[in-house]
Amino acid sequence: MMWVYPETTVAVAVSKFSGGEFDQGGVTVDKYRVLVGVHLVLVDVAGRVLLGRRANTGFGDGLFHVPAGHLEAGESAVAGLIREAREEVGIDIDARDVEFAHVLLSDERVQMFFTVRRWTGPVTNREPEKCSELAWFDPAGLPGEIVDYCRVGIGKVVVGQAFSEYGWESTTG
């Protein structure tokens, strides 16, 4: 899968394999696995972004984050995003309304951010055991209590930067 932008090219490849080593062009190499996260930057008519306050998850509890989750085996990024949107905030999204916005590479994770401006159904907290509240925020005024990589990702989406690295000294900002 490849997205091409006027000034930036981002290539994201997801391989299917079950463990051990694999052959790449006649050379056997140890494979490196990463988790792929999909992040919904849901934008309302006022330009605000939906965030949920995490609870009882063991990661970032008490902090805000966009609706997000990890891809399941054999699932495309857009299908995973649509599934997570339905599971977490109860909305239906047409795949044609999903816009790729940003990839944030962190240690052992590829975090993909997608912007959606059209959906059907009311936004509701479908996972109150994992999310204590939902709230809309102006992207220029995000709360201080937000998972840091999510804040960085939203910021990159706002300025139209397709790729960044997070968690080590970055060459992409």
**Cα-to-chain-centroid distance, residue 78:** 10
Q: For residue 108, what pLDDT is reported?
A: 84
- Whether the CB-CB separation of 90 and 122 falls below 8 Å is answered with yes
Which range has the worst mean pLDDT, 11-15, 45-49, 126-130, 163-167?
A: 11-15
99-108 pLDDT, tens per residue? 999 999 998 8
Please give the domain boundaries of the chain with CATH numbers for all domains.
Answer: 32-166 (3.90.79.10)
35-83 pLDDT, tens per residue? 999 999 999 999 999 999 999 999 999 999 999 999 999 999 999 999 9
> What secondary structure does DSSP assign to 52-117, as a single string?
EEE-SSSSSTTSEE-SEEEPPTT--HHHHHHHHHHHHH--B--GGGEEEEEEEEETTEEEEEEEE-
pLDDT category of residue 168 using cuts at 50, 70 and 90? confident
